[in-house]
């Protein structure tokens, strides 16, 4: 309890505003990024660190402990044969996905935003939810699989709603084998599929027309003007 009092005295705002309290909870460097990486299910310590290569093991340990104290993160152990400790979000912690989407959409308009920088697998999935154009997708129904390194995801589009999940590719209509950066170039940079395939950046199996349609469902917001 002593360390918690010291932390509050030094870093808390003593302000009743919900925004101020949100910054107290997740405003420390790396905290929100760690929360982001757990958005599609519990992760092992090493998985989180691998997704955030600039984060040291010591800082990750500290941030996880703080997030757990705040009721945002909970530790658990996977059942045998894995039997390893994982970190996941509480039900309230998962509600931060709306915060991430609003912040992502707002920040994408920054004149200084560089969409070519490294991207984690989870970031890519969150970006799909954030930038999905339901009016363009219309009544399209499809399941899209992704093989991103050692992880696999499915994105289900139905009734104007896009839902990502960390799971096997199953019976997806189309499966992309790629990297988050290459997929972002295809979806947001509108690089032609043939060009991505020619360089080996993307490999697809399944319905090619579904892959081409998927590309049209996402648009980055316009950049904000720089002050004169």
Name the nearest CA neighbour of 104 among 115, 94, 93, 95.
115
- State the alpha helices, DSSP H only, in 88-179: 91-94, 96-107, 121-131, 134-137
User: What is the pLDDT, as a whole number, of residue 65?
Assistant: 97
User: What is the pLDDT, as a whole number, of residue 3?
Assistant: 42
Q: Are 150 and 47 in contact (CB under 8 A)?
A: no
Q: Distance between CA 149 and CA 152 in Å, rounded?
A: 8
Q: Provide the token pair at 109.
A: 């308009």
Q: List, in order of start, the domains of the chain with CATH numbers.
A: 2-94 (1.10.10.10), 111-215 (3.30.1050.10)
Low-confidence ranges of the chain (pLDDT < 70): 1-10
pTM metric for this prediction: 0.90
Name the nearest CA neighbour of 146 among 117, 122, 130.
122
């Amino acid at each position: 309890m002593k360390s918690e009092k010291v932390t509050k005295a030094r870093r808390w705002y003593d302000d009743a505003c919900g925004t101020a309290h949100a910054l107290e909870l997740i405003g420390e460097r790396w905290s929100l990024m760690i929360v982001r990486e757990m958005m599609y299910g519990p992760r092992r310590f090493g998985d989180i660190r691998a997704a955030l290569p600039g984060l040291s093991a010591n800082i990750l340990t500290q941030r996880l402990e703080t997030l757990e104290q705040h009721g945002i993160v909970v530790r658990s152990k996977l059942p045998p044969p894995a039997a390893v400790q994982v970190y996941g979000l509480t039900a309230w912690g998962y509600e931060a996905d709306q915060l991430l989407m609003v912040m992502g959409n707002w920040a994408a308009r920054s004149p200084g935003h560089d969409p070519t920088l490294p991207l984690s697998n989870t970031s890519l999935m969150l970006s799909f939810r954030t930038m999905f154009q339901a009016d363009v997708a219309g009544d399209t129904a499809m399941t899209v699989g992704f093989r991103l390194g050692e992880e696999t995801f499915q994105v289900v589009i139905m009734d104007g709603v896009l839902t990502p999940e960390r799971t096997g590719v199953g019976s997806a209509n189309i499966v992309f084998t790629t990297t988050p950066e290459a997929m972002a170039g295809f979806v947001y940079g509108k690089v032609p599929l043939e060009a991505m395939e020619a360089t080996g950046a993307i490999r697809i199996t399944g319905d090619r027309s579904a892959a081409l349609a998927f590309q049209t469902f996402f648009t980055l917001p316009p950049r904000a003007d720089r002050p004169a």
